[in-house]
């Protein structure tokens, strides 16, 4: 086999998986891997979860797709379930994180136009990641994502993340701002957790200025950080609208834009749409995901496992030379090195451990929320050994 017929968008690792179960994956040679990536925060319930499989099979045998030109009761049920948990009022369904953010951006612009702001500007953050479509790569704070795709879109202004003062300065200087778009914890940017009070402060500033507060919860949402939504680590930080995707379907593509108040009323029939968005198959998967998360208390579980892992990593790696910081919330954990960490991915793979490196020097762990006690121990030991061997290679490996 070769990848000559695939466009060269990924530098792929030389392994392919045949099946999985929970936090385990098997390759086609029969080797087993502990998955500490979950398809990048997608398979939060682990692989081949029997109840998701059953929901999909049952729905696939009845009705996979039906146009949004008709009523879709499963979509209405899912919207209600998500609104109940998030404090939002209405949902729009799409198929990916980038699309969910596109919906946020269009929603903010539509809302601004209705208020007479004909050239609305959205504030975005340095080191942010919002997706690969033209609007979302413009919003992304990473030149490598943007380079070669200019011209970028107008209507965005960038400030440093976790810095309320620069936003306050912007508020004094400009009259055209409609919204602030931020990840509650930056994922691709290196698992950057903002200072306590940052999101509350954003909420207060947005209220004072009449700006919408928009969260990209594509990675942080749905239990990943030990709360249903990442913003719920703070008390007064509820947004006007938020984007969800990744974990919503446990691997079945589905995204959502949720909103409340005036933002929830900004779209009218014809404003926005999606052929596949919220089809019965994807909605049945997402409803099963929410059901299992609730019944098995996976949000609390992510919180507890995450606390133990973070404490374990800090105790065993915190004082090592070469470690800059160990941070995270719930099962979104970053170990920042003082050097490039890219090689850890292949080293981990060779040891049967699937990890990720982002922002060049941050080892990122996003294990499934269903991790059991044994797997938790294997993950802690495996990651510590991996990092230790990388920082101080055993003599026979040094060259
Ligand atoms: C993954 C991600 C996206 C993009 O999601 P896609 O489904 O790949 O379009 C957007 N925002 C954040 C925070 C993400 O982690």
In this predicted model, what pLDDT tens digit does every residue of 112-137 receive, in sequence order? 999 999 999 999 999 999 999 999 99
Q: What is the mean pLDDT of the segment spanning 301-318?
A: 98
Q: Does 252 lie in the same domain as 138?
A: yes
Nearest to 364 by CA among 220, 241, 231: 220
CA–centroid distance, residue 132 to ligand 1 (Å): 8
Domain boundary among 295, 311, 346: 295
Mutate to test the pocket of ligand 1, among 95, 220, 245 (most ligand atoms within 8 A of CB): 245
CATH code of residue 375: 3.90.1150.10
pLDDT value at position 3?
80
230 Cα: distance to centroid of ligand 1 (angstroms): 15
Calpha distance 301→368 (Å, rounded): 11
| One domain for residues 232 and 339 | no
Q: Which of 92, 129, 229, 313 is catalytic?
A: 129
Which secondary-structure segment (H or E) carries 76? Answer: helix 73-86
Ligand 1 atom nearest 40 alpha carbon: 1
With a CB cutoff of 8 Å and minimum separation 6, the contacts of 313 are 326, 333, 335, 380, 383, 384
Calpha distance 298→44 (Å, rounded): 9
* Residue range 368-386: mean pLDDT, rounded: 98
Is 129 an annotated catalytic residue? Answer: yes
Separation of CA 107 from chain center: 20
Per-residue pLDDT, 2: 77
Residues 96 and 222 in one domain: yes
> What is the number of the ligand 1 atom nearest to the C-alpha of 132?
9
Which residues have C-beta atoms less than 6 Å from ligand 1?
Answer: 96-98, 101, 129-131, 183, 187-188, 216, 218-219, 245-246
Give the residues across from 335 on adjacent strands. Answer: 326, 363
Rounded distance from Cα 124 to ligand 1 centre (Å): 15
Residue 1 lies in a domain: no
User: 166 in a domain, yes or no?
Assistant: yes
Over residues 267-284, the mean pLDDT reads 97
pLDDT at res. 177: 98
Query: Looking at residues 19-30, what average pLDDT do you find?
Result: 98
Rg (the chain; Cα; Å): 21
**3-state SS assignment for residue 373:** helix
Mean pLDDT of the 316-338 span: 98
- Active-site residue flag, 27: no
Predicted local distance difference test score (pLDDT) of residue 394:
64
User: Which residue, of 295, 317, 343, is where some domain finishes?
Assistant: 295
In which domain, by residue range, is 301 found? Answer: 17-48+297-391
What average pLDDT score do residues 392-398 get? 66
Q: Which atom of ligand 1 is nearest to the CA of 245?
A: 7
Residues 301 and 377 in one domain: yes
Separation CA 201–CA 211 (nearest Å): 13
Structure tokens at 102: 């596109």
Catalytic residue flag (residue 246): yes
């Amino acid at each position: 086999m070769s990848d000559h017929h695939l466009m060269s968008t990924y530098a792929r690792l030389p392994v392919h998986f045949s099946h999985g179960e929970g936090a385990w994956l098997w390759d086609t040679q029969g080797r087993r891997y502990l998955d500490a990536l979950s398809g990048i925060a997608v398979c939060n319930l682990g692989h081949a979860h029997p109840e998701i499989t059953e929901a999909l099979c049952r729905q696939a045998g009845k009705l996979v797709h039906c146009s949004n030109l008709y009523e879709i009761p499963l979509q209405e049920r899912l919207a209600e379930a998500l609104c109940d948990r998030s404090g939002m009022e209405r949902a729009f369904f799409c198929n990916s994180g980038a699309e969910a953010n596109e919906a946020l951006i269009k929603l903010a612009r539509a809302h601004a136009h209705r208020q007479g702001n004909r050239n609305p500007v959205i504030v975005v953050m340095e080191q942010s990641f919002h997706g690969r479509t033209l609007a979302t790569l413009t919003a992304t704070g990473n030149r490598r994502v943007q380079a070669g795709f200019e011209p970028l879109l107008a209507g965005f202004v960038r400030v440093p993340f976790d810095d309320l003062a620069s936003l306050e300065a912007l508020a004094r200087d400009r009259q055209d701002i409609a919204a602030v778009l931020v990840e509650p914890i930056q994922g691709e940017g290196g698992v950057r957790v903002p200072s306590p009070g940052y999101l509350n402060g954003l909420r207060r500033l947005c209220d004072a200025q009449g700006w919408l507060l928009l969260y990209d919860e594509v990675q942080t949402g749905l239990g990943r950080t030990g709360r249903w939504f990442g913003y719920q680590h703070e008390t007064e930080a509820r947004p006007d609208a938020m984007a969800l995707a990744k974990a919503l379907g446990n691997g079945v593509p589905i995204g959502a834009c949720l909103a409340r108040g005036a933002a929830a009323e900004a779209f009218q029939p014809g404003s926005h749409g999606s052929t596949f968005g919220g089809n019965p198959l994807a909605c049945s998967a997402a409803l099963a995901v929410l059901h299992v998360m609730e019944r098995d208390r996976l949000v609390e579980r992510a919180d507890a496992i995450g606390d133990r892992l973070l404490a374990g990593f800090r105790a065993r790696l915190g004082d090592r030379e070469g470690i800059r910081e160990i941070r995270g919330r719930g099962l979104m954990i970053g170990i920042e090195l003082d050097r490039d960490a890219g090689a850890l991915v292949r080293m981990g793979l060779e040891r049967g451990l699937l990890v990720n490196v982002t922002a060049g020097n941050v080892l990122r762990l996003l294990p499934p929320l269903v991790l059991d006690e044994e797997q938790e121990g294997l993950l802690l030991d495996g990651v510590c050994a991996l990092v230790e061997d990388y920082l101080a290679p055993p003599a026979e490996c040094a060259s």
